[in-house]
Chains A and B, each alone.
Chain A
């Protein structure tokens, strides 16, 4: 017992002895230095922001990088109200808002960013008033830069300032930091962001830096990783060029052998650079009030009735269920079809046709009759098999699943038993509640072109860090069970569409193109024009889907765009 008491006492003496030794080291040996640090000088913690990773196209063309920009920072402990009032005046920010940005960190004598991307005139004014702006510093920070402006608005997306909720959720963000909001910037935020560094410096009473603090080694910022897109910049530019006369359009190009997205465009666009500095209110208003919704990614977020581009799929379903054969002739087309007490129209009087001819001429009457023979459940099941009615899984956010109306859906919408087989007539020509995104149509045709191999579409092919490859995206293939001879027949018909049928405007001399036009009704407004095509027809490499809203006939408006894109695709060196 005595022994144990002694030992416990020794432990206490040793522990308190350690404290006393350290205390005497800090206060007696190092005391003079610490006294200097606390009296005349101060320590400042400076954040060294990490530059965001660069984004390249598939051939190494720089699509997003960072450029130096002026940030205005304030050290809360070294500033005063008159300086803040003057600053608020110079940067045209309400004083209350300025103070709010400084609020949670008042005790830290480290610079807090309060204004990003200041223009040279503002910087000059701050420097002129230097002596009246105590605690206000100008710093040069890396800030995002999109050299091609609106061209990649919907692929790369844009950045925005972190919200209070995000700050609470992830403490590694600081107020005023940027975070990816849409596109690749959002889905690859963790990869692109990098890690901020910091350093501690000693400053004198006037706030001038004396030097680094030996107690605390600086930690350099780690730049974000670089991202390579599957996009081909030349095609993207061409798509932009070809659609410039239309208000609302979407273009998608996919490599059918991998699922790589080689171009993705949605019109109207916006310049993502505007989010990186104080937004001009008139520009902002014109964007927000634009009825065409520039922030809306039509290529992936918007479902449209696919119109006649849906017919090849209906044909495949019909062949599978053996309700027709490729050579079956149904009732001749007289320009309309009567079912019950309703008349369903066709765009011309096609006369007697078989299935292949009906695809080639895009005859509605033929497909109305298929619709009557086909069961809804079987059609829905077939769509599901082709991954329609759910998101494709593309690696950017905001994708719409489209809509494949099942029996349950129709019951919910119209009431049980309230809908008739007339609905099926509409579905058979890609109208009614059927909705697909341009991306989904592109993947559907890529699956047809591949004869049953579905590739998940993706935008980022590679992640690099300082020139070293970190990660490469491997194509992800799903095998879709479809009868090969049926596919062969439909592909033959699609080739004939461009050769002799409604898609002649997509024709291109040397390379055979296969595809399908679509003119989707959108009452009371004008029709949407569709064309989805792949090439070369005999050994497909690439598929393009083009949608132009309210522009009329797919054959006239959309088909030539796809023709041009395919011509360009095969003319480029790869």
Chain B
């Protein structure tokens, strides 16, 4: 087995190592030696996975795509019955470590979609063309949704959309695909739905023929009207739960508090930060789940604007790097895979940091490479392994 050294993307590999290291340092700062140790176990496992995926011939990965996809579905199904977790069934507990199958689903769905789309070659905005990809994405999405884990389920949307776009579907058509669901979610509040509707109306009337535009708007209206109807059928406390599930910013008691604490932590870091291990907000225990979803707040508090901006830049370069690999790859399947992975990493980074900055509602989503959590780290490493493989040689 020979690997052409020049084609091994050393930059991508180094960026990965840098991010993993930053993650370990931040976990030590926020969670102490115990969490550092637990997370460190996954670093060699992740790197081993990375190397294996880099070394094996890509046709093996392609050949394993369907079995992997089916296995993922089975695991997602199994976790509903045998899983553990507070309030939801998301993890498999194996000894002292717990694994979250929904994390690995991101990889399996991306591989499956890429294979399907590259096989189809051409994609058109009609039912026959889109039914396949939608089905591939929606089945695991629904399974994750019933855990319930809305934020992880939504992680399957960006690779789906990005890969359809990469394959030539117009952004307008991709948007229309999602409008009914956006309309349903916006329908919880009229203040949300009216701007949504106006925006949609402007877009469709500018870009589409009259009758199609009307049809698109009508569909969205129906879904928008549906959500207050669904809500009114529920009991008071069920409604509160549903709303805080789909629209956490309506629940000021729980969520508003965390958002404020996170913003104070970030803001108080100022230009240079309070220094490693000197974050006060973090130390006082004000930050909830500070070593998982809230780890960026702690980093921003301790390293300030300079540190957090640097971290953003590193992640940005990494994603740009993956996009370039996608562009340069002659193998369409591989190209699509890289696009999918880039969109997952970009989406998670934006949503995680965005919610800590008070731009987005607080939901449980990890910061790639950095957040505490074995499944998340492993998933990221495996993705990088496959991308390194793609960049290294043509199939």
In the complex, A366 Cα to B281 Cα: how many Å?
Answer: 87
On whether the beta carbons of B346 and A37 are closer than 8 Å, the reply is no
- Tell me which residues from 131 to 149 in chain B have a Cβ below 8 Å from any Cβ of chain A: none
On whether the beta carbons of A27 and B269 are closer than 8 Å, the reply is yes
Q: Indicate whether B354 reaches chain A with its CB closer than 8 angstroms.
A: yes
Binds A, one of B49-57, B188-196, B300-308: B300-308
Q: Report B-chain residues with C-beta under 8 Å of the C-beta of A172.
A: 237, 240
- The residue in chain B whose Cβ has the minimal distance to the Cβ of A196 is B253
Q: Indicate whether A466 reaches chain B with its CB closer than 8 angstroms.
A: no
In the complex, A219 Cα to B250 Cα: how many Å?
Answer: 12
Q: Indicate whether A90 reaches chain B with its CB closer than 8 angstroms.
A: no
Q: Report A-chain residues with C-beta under 8 Å of the C-beta of B358.
A: 22, 26
On whether the beta carbons of A20 and B312 are closer than 8 Å, the reply is yes
On whether the beta carbons of A198 and B240 are closer than 8 Å, the reply is no
Could you mark each residue 86-119 of chain A with 1 if its beta carbon is under 8 Å from any beta carbon of chain B, else 0? 0000000000000000000011110000000000
Q: Indicate whether A200 reaches chain B with its CB closer than 8 angstroms.
A: yes
In the complex, A213 Cα to B256 Cα: how many Å?
Answer: 12
- With A27-B305, A32-B270, A190-B236 known to touch, is A4 a contact of B264 (CB < 8 Å)? no
On whether the beta carbons of B285 and A38 are closer than 8 Å, the reply is no
Among candidates A2, A18, A107, A170, residue contacting B359 with C-beta atoms closer than 8 Å: A18
Closest chain B CB from A32 CB (angstroms): 7
Closest chain B CB from A404 CB (angstroms): 34
Q: Indicate whether B165 reaches chain A with its CB closer than 8 angstroms.
A: yes
Q: Indicate whether A484 reaches chain B with its CB closer than 8 angstroms.
A: no
Q: Report B-chain residues with C-beta under 8 Å of the C-beta of A32.
A: 270
In the complex, A4 Cα to B338 Cα: how many Å?
Answer: 14
- With A26-B266, A27-B267, A27-B269 known to touch, is A19 a contact of B312 (CB < 8 Å)? yes
Closest chain A CB from B255 CB (angstroms): 11
Q: Indicate whether B28 reaches chain A with its CB closer than 8 angstroms.
A: no
Q: Report A-chain residues with C-beta under 8 Å of the C-beta of B257.
A: 45, 108
Closest chain A CB from B318 CB (angstroms): 10
On whether the beta carbons of B316 and A27 are closer than 8 Å, the reply is no
Chain B, interface residues (CB within 8 Å), range: 35 or more
Q: Report A-chain residues with C-beta under 8 Å of the C-beta of B269.
A: 27, 31
Q: Report A-chain residues with C-beta under 8 Å of the C-beta of B264.
A: 34, 37-38, 43
- Tell me which residues from 29 to 49 in chain A have a Cβ below 8 Å from any Cβ of chain B: 30-35, 37-39, 43, 45
Closest chain B CB from A189 CB (angstroms): 11
- Tell me which residues from 257 to 309 in chain B have a Cβ below 8 Å from any Cβ of chain A: 257, 260-261, 263-271, 280-281, 284-286, 288, 300-301, 304-305, 308-309
25 inter-chain pairs at a CB distance below 8 angstroms, sorted by A residue, are: A1-B327, A4-B165, A5-B326, A12-B320, A13-B316, A16-B315, A18-B354, A19-B354, A19-B357, A22-B358, A23-B305, A23-B308, A24-B305, A26-B267, A26-B357, A27-B270, A27-B271, A31-B305, A32-B270, A34-B268, A35-B268, A35-B270, A39-B268, A107-B288, A172-B240
With A12-B320, A12-B346, A35-B267 known, 6 other A-B pairs at CB within 8 A are A16-B315, A19-B357, A27-B308, A31-B271, A198-B252, A198-B253
* B contact set with A: CB distance below 8 Å: 162, 165-166, 236-237, 240-241, 252-253, 256-257, 260-261, 263-271, 280-281, 284-286, 288, 300-301, 304-305, 308-309, 312, 315-316, 319-320, 323-324, 326-327, 339, 342, 346, 349-350, 353-354, 357-359
